[in-house]
Amino acid sequence: MTLGTDKLVQHLSESLPRWLFAATAALTVILLISIFIFLFVTGINAFGSIGLKEFFWGTDWNPASFHTPSWGIFSLILGSLMVSFISLLISVPFGLSIAIYLAEIAPPKTRETLKPVIEMIASIPSVVLGLLGLLFLAPITAGLFGLSNGLNAFTASILVAVASLPTITSVSEDALSSVTYKFREASLALGATKWVTIKKAVIPAAKSGLVAAIMLGLGRVIGETMIVLMVAGNSRALPSSFLDSVQPMTATIAIEIKEVVIGTLHWQSLFAIGLVLFTITFIVNFLADLLIHKK
Amino acid sequence: MKNNLRETIYFLIFKTSAFLGIFILLLVLLLLFISGYSVIDWTFLASGWQHRDIARGGIFPAILGSIYLGIGVTLISFSLGVGTAVFLTEYNKNNLTRRIFQLTIRNLAGVPSVVYGLFGLAVFVNFFSLGTSLLAAILTLSIMTLPWIITASVEALESVPQKFRESSLALGASHWQTISKIILPAAIPGSITGGVIAIARALGETAPIIFVGATFYLSNLPSSLFDKFMALPYHTFILATQHSSPLATSYAAGTALVLILLTFLLSLGAIILRYYYRKKKDW
């Protein structure tokens, strides 16, 4: 009889954890899948009611208008793209340079100190960068370009570049470091200098990882909310220059979601913008992931 | 000679970029300190918020709110995240589902926080009728950090050498004994360091909590999970953009300084922990 209980206890102590872990994993899957489902179900109505063409190509976003509300997010998309473009223009060369220094040139001690510094930059809350933008950077750009205020796509992009720097740096540093030492040794043995080795042997071998770093950086900048909300100026007009105020998709959601009535077309259309963001970042991350795990 | 010169110049550029990185970090701290240190004193840190005369009040409710958030998110996302990672690496034998799962998780880690905020609003605040509350915010931020914690834990579990598992099983230990006595103790430090950095990032997030429960002015501290709450990042945001007092910007900077010290202490702690753990690791 005691033997039976022992066996039962032993059996339970093995199968219980298994079921517990399986249930945890299942719960996680359900939660994460439901993110997509909720966005999709709520947002898809908006596509139907507004029409895809009007939604994506319309340049006028004014859902709260009393007379004829308009639902075009083209200016918002353009705002997101402008900020992404300028900030990547800054953070990609900057981040790659840091990565090359860390992976190829820096002595081990310097490297050990610099890597945590980059990680610390990643943990600067974006609201802090937005605040510093309002207090310091916006007045500087306003003075530099003779504008009434410095709240525009350009100012926001500089700060977003800082926010995306750690992503680009650490992913490309990983890519460079994982290039086998044989490549470097073979190149150096053939008489190439260190720079030629980096340029002709290491960077080409790490190419897919470096592209992935840029894509992950893009995912990071397009989703940035607080900086653009605070510093980009929040203008829904179609921007014509980098010094114009813009209101990217993320900022639009953050500004309007608190004021809309649940279930209305306005509410649904904000979820539709969320769905667009989700889709863009998911595709970008997916491609980056394929590139990183290519081998 | 020409090549050498070029190399010198390029390497100088790379080195300068790297030190510019340090400069940016120091600049952020310095500028915040300059604009915010004058308001930081005991009253600022320890007393309640006074909406009419902000110079008389403090940000204690916001500090407390952020700490509550941190504790709640840690409890939920750690248990779910580590549990899921254990299932993936130790129990699930199907390579294909594991790869699909990991791919999805890694991609969800890149979804913008504002999208998680929308999700939290639709699901926790409305669908489950939790209202805008501390609980809704904890759940939303937990789901946002979940992919980061799972990724860190899976990495930590995968880095435990296969021979640990084999030796333990060969000595007659059961599967669960092997996991609980051998694998988890070896992997936990790694998942904790990854997790703490994730929590620090979650604490600095503003957009999602705007949607699901943070508020600017509270007469009472939150007494239950269903109350609204104040939080440091949201407080910073409102003071910086929507408060009319001429003192508001220095109070915003003071609040931001407290917030950044909190997140930096957490991240730095995790980084130091990782450093010692790597040194100690004998495999």
Most B CBs within 10 A among A120, A224, A229, hence the mutation to make, goes to A120
A244 three-state secondary structure: coil
What value does the mean pLDDT take over residues A178-199?
Answer: 90
**Surface of B (10-49) touching A: CB under 8 A:** 10-11, 13-15, 17-18, 20-22, 24-25, 28, 31-32, 35
- pLDDT higher than threshold 60 for residue A219: yes
pLDDT at residue B115, as a whole number: 93
Q: Please check whether residue A43 touches B, CB under 8 A.
A: no
- pLDDT tens digits for A232-258? 998 888 888 889 999 999 999 999 998
**Surface of B (234-263) touching A: CB under 8 A:** 236-237, 240-241, 249, 252-253, 256, 259-260, 263
- Which of A97, A274, A289 is facing B118, going by the closest CB pair? A274
Q: How far is A203 from chain B (nearest CA, A)?
A: 14
The answer to whether the CB of B55 falls within 8 A of the CB of B40 is no
Nearest C-alpha neighbor of A148 from the set A157, A135, A139? A139
- pLDDT higher than threshold 60 for residue A1: no
Continuous segment of H or E residues that includes residue A62:
strand A61-62
The torsion angle over the Cα atoms of residues A50, A54, A55 and A58, rounded to 10 degrees, is: -140
Rounded CA separation A142/B130 (Å)? 44
Which band of pLDDT confidence, cut at 50, 70 and 90, is reported for residue A84? very high
**Surface of B (189-208) touching A: CB under 8 A:** 197, 200-201, 203-207
Residues of A in contact with B25 (CB under 8 A): 117, 120-121, 124
What value does the mean pLDDT take over residues A156-173?
Answer: 95
Tokens of B71: 């504790």
Residues of B in contact with A292 (CB under 8 A): none
What value does the mean pLDDT take over residues A199-215?
Answer: 93
Class of CATH domain B40-280: mainly alpha
Query: Taking the model in full, what pTM does it have?
Result: 0.91
pLDDT at residue B43, as a whole number: 82
User: What is the mean pLDDT for each group of 10 consecutive residues in chain B (283 residues)?
Assistant: 81 92 94 90 83 78 92 93 90 82 84 93 89 92 93 90 91 90 89 88 91 78 84 92 82 94 91 83 68
- The 8-class DSSP code of residue A71 comes to E
B259 to A119: CB separation less than 8 angstroms, yes or no:
no
Kindly list the domain boundaries of chain B, sorted by start residue. 2-37, 40-280
A223 to B115: CB separation less than 8 angstroms, yes or no:
yes
pLDDT at residue B219, as a whole number: 66
